[in-house]
Structure 1
Amino acid sequence: MTTRQTVQEQVTSRRRMGVLFAMCLALVLVVGSVSGVNLVLPSVAVAIGASATQLTWIADAYTVALAALVLPMGALGDRLGRRNVLLAGTVVFGAGAAVGAAASSASVLIVARAVMGLGAAMIMPGTLSTITAVFPSEERARAVGIWSGFAVSGSILGMLLSGALLEQFSWVSTFVAAAALAGVAFVAAAVLAPNTADPHHARLDVVGSVLSGVGIGGLVFGIIEGSERGWLSPLSVGGFAAAAGGLVGWAMWSLRVEHPLLDPRLFRLRGFATGSAAITVQFLVTLGFFLVGLQFLLLVLGYSALMSTVALLPIAAVAMPVSVVAPALAARVGVRPVIASGMATIAVGFVLLAQLRVDSTYWSFVIGLGVFGVGVSLASTPATTAIVSSLPRAKQGVASAVNDVSRELGSAIGIATLGSLFNRGYVHAIESTTNGLPASVADVVRRSPAAGLDVAGRMGPNGAALAHGVKSAFIQGLGAALVGGVIISLLGAAFIVWRGPHRSDDTAADIDENMPASFADASSTIPTAGPAPAIEGAAA
């Protein structure tokens, strides 16, 4: 006989550990596929003749699909069951990876990456929302901390796997591995995780889903195209216009319907609003730093792709313990000072990294890297907790999706912003080095540090001075990007100090496990009580 029981009645402590393992495995699958593809692109360019624009979209088709669809997929998980949607997502993800492995043209590979992004959008909200629905309040913060630790380190693990495979095999192996890992994630979730859902079974907001998808997808598309082609290019302007129309339409529609996809009035809640802003800023500076920091290891220190990824592992080493400790610290002193301190620590890490020079060693790099990792980990867990604690457990799919949208927006903005600051700093500094070079050669050197070092390498002994000039200009660009990261991090910290939740807000969100008090205060149209999320098909 099929029964319906609350999560706390059904799931034992031992089984909760299995749930945490399965959800973190699925999380690493999604996050690692964002970063791991970047190491593959040079091999893809040679193997299938992809252009620079096509390479950009092989990487970014995944990000756009994930950002555009994660919010409606989170709501769909609340409606149909989070595990159900997550399992379907692993199938879609694996199918896309399999098509990518067999692709012989750039266009097919772009489509495959978009399909993988769709699968990722189906997987990602279910990972966090299942954890928050399954774990009781006294264990939830630590579980979210572990999830956040894997969210931070997952990007590095993805690059590490890709780098290791590329040492022995072709780029195809990375897509085969992604498909295989999707299969493992499917089995783990099917065996270990319960299927939680919103017991209210409210009608899915299709109009809101379409409008939010157009708005968020258009915004990410516009940012990507703007950083590649210029902010006034037709594609970039078109993306921003679609974003404006979609987001304004979503807000107007959501204020009129009884059960919106996401009620805009939720952003009145201090925890929800500042948590979303904090996650956006964190991933803005994190992905922007990965862009320029990885190049320092590759071009200045001369590491291989695999060794460069290994050199970033100290972030993963500090992420897990700090992410686990952060919830206890936030419970003692409050969410606001912990998030703000984490962002200030990120700024300190960037200040240390900005001291790097052409002759700096890895040990100079790793000190700033470690401080940066502590800051990100310290801020990430309380910010995520602030978001998910603002909504009732029945709506954890949407809460998790908001967290994921914040991540993706921050990542896209960070790569565009810090990447642009780096490029401007490099181009300005390289001018004196290119004086006296033939115009065609100078143009190549100005294009990127990698191209400049390639030219220097072809000049033999006469290229030593050019190589030093390129590396010096790289350091100038790196410094410009890091200073930008310092300013953004400090502005984020100041915003959290100003608008972050008070201690009373921290506790109010969990007075009723089904409906936080602050959530009920956001709008008189939101119900103030309801049954806890249920596990369907559980034996009594």
Structure 2
Amino acid sequence: MVLAVLCLATLTISLATTAINVTLPSLAVELNADNRDLQWIVDAYNLLFATFVLAFGSLSDRYGRKGALLTGLAIFGGGAVGASLAESSAQLIGWQAVMGLGAAFVYPTTLSILSNVFTDRADRAKAIGIWGATTGVGVACGPILGGWLLESFWWGSVFLALALAAAVSIIAASRVVTTSRDPQTPRIDYGGLALSVLAVGGLVYTVIEAPEHGWISAVTLGGFTISLALFVTLVFWERGRAEPMIDVTLFKNMRFTAASASVTFAYFALFGFIFLITQYFQLVRGDGPLETGLEFIPVATSIAVGSLLGTLLAVRLGNKLVVATGMLLFTTAFLWIATLSESTSYLEIAGQMIPLGLGLGLTAAPATEAIMGAVPLNKAGIGSAMNDATREVGGTVGVAVIGSVYASLYASTLRDSPAAQQLPAEVKSVVEQSVGAAATAAHQFAAAGDAQSAQTVSQTANSAFLDGLAAGSYVAAGVTAVGAVIAFLFLPAKPQ
């Protein structure tokens, strides 16, 4: 019963990560949101989530994990209700930030409670497999929920559904979950709390803003330099504390470090994939929100199977072999995805999603089990928070990097296209902004009776988008290949 409640809470948070994506076209119209507004509607949630997850994971160890879970769900649910009533993009961005703050309490707490309930490694591995399946499926099924609600009701219904799920989770958790905490009740490490918030928050904010300012601009390089300095300061601060918030010596354990890197690389690839493939379905293939969501079913199913199978195999065969295999499946999937065209059948796309989903399941769940197995039970909250931070940072960096690679190649391909050269200058500048802007321009031409221009704009933009998608897929394949090498070299074969 405890595991079921924790999975429900985890599913609620995971759905929120991607459910908003399919509502972006509607938000652009109804809230008059430009591209930058839409980016921050998505990123405000991730920024607050990643920034505070380490601090809140540590506080849950000290003050009680059940209380942290209920507090986080209440904050998340309240933010979701507020988001459903937002009347401007600024209001929605603010409420998304509140939801991210609540998620930063909930996510690490679910895993830390799980680790304290299931203390036997085999049982814990099975439980983490189910928890990991819930996490991955939630991320992949977010577009399904968002698409169905958007076609049936209005965009605010997506947030009301999340608020309802949070309310049910609160009722169930208050009845079923018992509290646990670090029995040593160490003093609060205020310096560690502040430095972790500033370091992670600074890094994520810099990554989010990098595509806007340029990756080698003074603003971006300055942000990365400050973030690095803060992380170095955090390490030295924690090493000098008798009771640190984060035991940085954990990173000497390669089981912990290599597993954390594997989770980071896996979510880098997953979030980058969802960012690109959602646009491919809706803007290149012309699928509706619900149809787009349903097209994610193969990857969601594969993640569930891979997560359950991965932890079982990890106990028998060791994390090294399972996680490295998962990363190689990821790499194979992205090399295949790079071949997408306008005429690619959905059957082939579903085939591409299967190794991708299995790759995530075989990587993330066993790697999470390895991380939690390396952390003492009384520090499960901060251990879980470190695992969650790697997910969020990896996913945010994945969207920013893969999105930048795609966007730069899209714009350059469009500029060099002979067909684009024939377009009026004002139309060409609009089409270069994004494939969504190109789709809008094509519809306007068609409505005006200029079918030839509409076809030219559509074909040129789609071709440029596919070039950018292929480049982004190759980047993801390269990252996951490096992850496979790291897992194979540094994860222990049979950890005690």
TM-score category of the 2 structures, normalised to the smaller one: over 0.9
Aligned to 1:99: 82
Query: In the TM superposition, what whole-angstrom CA distance separates every residue of 1:67-87 from its partner, at most 9, and x where no partner exists?
Result: 011011111111111111010
Counterpart selection for 2:478 from 479, 484, 487: 487
Aligned to 2:17: 34
2:15, 2:142 within 8 Å by CA — same for their partners in 1? yes
Tell me how far apart the structure 2 counterparts of residues 105 and 466 of structure 1 sit (CA, whole Å): 31
Instruction: State how 1:72-151 maps to structure 2 within 5 Å.
Output: 72-137=55-120, 138-151=122-135
Aligned residues: CA RMSD: 1.6
Percent sequence identity over aligned pairs = 35
Aligned to 1:43: 26
How many matched pairs? 488
Query: In the TM superposition, what whole-angstrom CA distance separates every residue of 1:406-453 from its partner, at most 9, and x where no partner exists?
Result: 000101110011111212232232221311111111111111112223
Aligned to 1:464: 455
Aligned to 1:441: 427
1:221, 1:236 within 8 Å by CA — same for their partners in 2? no
Aligned to 1:422: 406
Counterpart selection for 1:214 from 187, 194, 198: 198
Q: 1:119 to 1:382 in 2, by over 3 A?
A: same
2:466 is the counterpart of 1:498: no
Q: 1:102 to 1:464 in 2, by over 3 A?
A: closer
Q: How far off is 1:235 after superposition? A: 5.6
Counterpart selection for 1:405 from 372, 389, 411: 389
Q: Any idea what SS the aligned residue of 1:34 has?
A: helix
Quick one: which amino acid aligns to residue 54 of structure 2? L
Tell me how far apart the structure 1 counterparts of residues 430 and 260 of structure 2 sit (CA, whole Å): 41
Q: How far off is 1:242 after superposition? A: 4.1
Q: How far off is 1:240 after superposition? A: 2.8
Q: 1:172 to 1:238 in 2, by over 3 A?
A: farther
2:37 is the counterpart of 1:54: yes
Tell me how far apart the structure 2 counterparts of residues 225 and 237 of structure 1 sit (CA, whole Å): 11
1:214, 1:242 within 8 Å by CA — same for their partners in 2? no
In structure 1, the gaps of 5 or more residues are 1-17, 508-540
Q: 1:347 to 1:446 in 2, by over 3 A?
A: same
Q: Any idea what SS the aligned residue of 1:459 has?
A: helix
Quick one: which amino acid aligns to residue 421 of structure 2? N
Q: 1:239 to 1:288 in 2, by over 3 A?
A: same
1:225, 1:235 within 8 Å by CA — same for their partners in 2? no
Query: In the TM superposition, what whole-angstrom CA distance separates every residue of 1:446-482 from its partner, at most 9, and x where no partner exists?
Result: 1111222322233332022332222222221111111
Q: 1:281 to 1:454 in 2, by over 3 A?
A: same
Flag the structure with larger Rg: 1
Quick one: which amino acid aligns to residue 370 of structure 1? I
Q: Any idea what SS the aligned residue of 1:302 has?
A: coil
Counterpart selection for 1:291 from 275, 279, 297: 275
Q: How far off is 1:47 after superposition? A: 2.6
Greater mean deviation of Cα atoms: 470-479 or 139-148: 470-479
Aligned to 1:8: none
2:63, 2:181 within 8 Å by CA — same for their partners in 1? yes
Under a length normalisation based on structure 2, what TM-score does the superposition of the two structures give?
Answer: 0.95
1:279, 1:384 within 8 Å by CA — same for their partners in 2? yes
2:466 is the counterpart of 1:475: yes
Tell me how far apart the structure 1 counterparts of residues 229 and 37 of structure 2 sit (CA, whole Å): 27
Aligned to 2:294: 310
Counterpart selection for 2:250 from 266, 283, 286: 266
Quick one: which amino acid aligns to residue 439 of structure 1? A
Q: 1:469 to 1:52 in 2, by over 3 A?
A: closer
Q: How far off is 1:180 after superposition? A: 1.5
2:193 is the counterpart of 1:202: no
Quick one: which amino acid aligns to residue 448 of structure 1? S
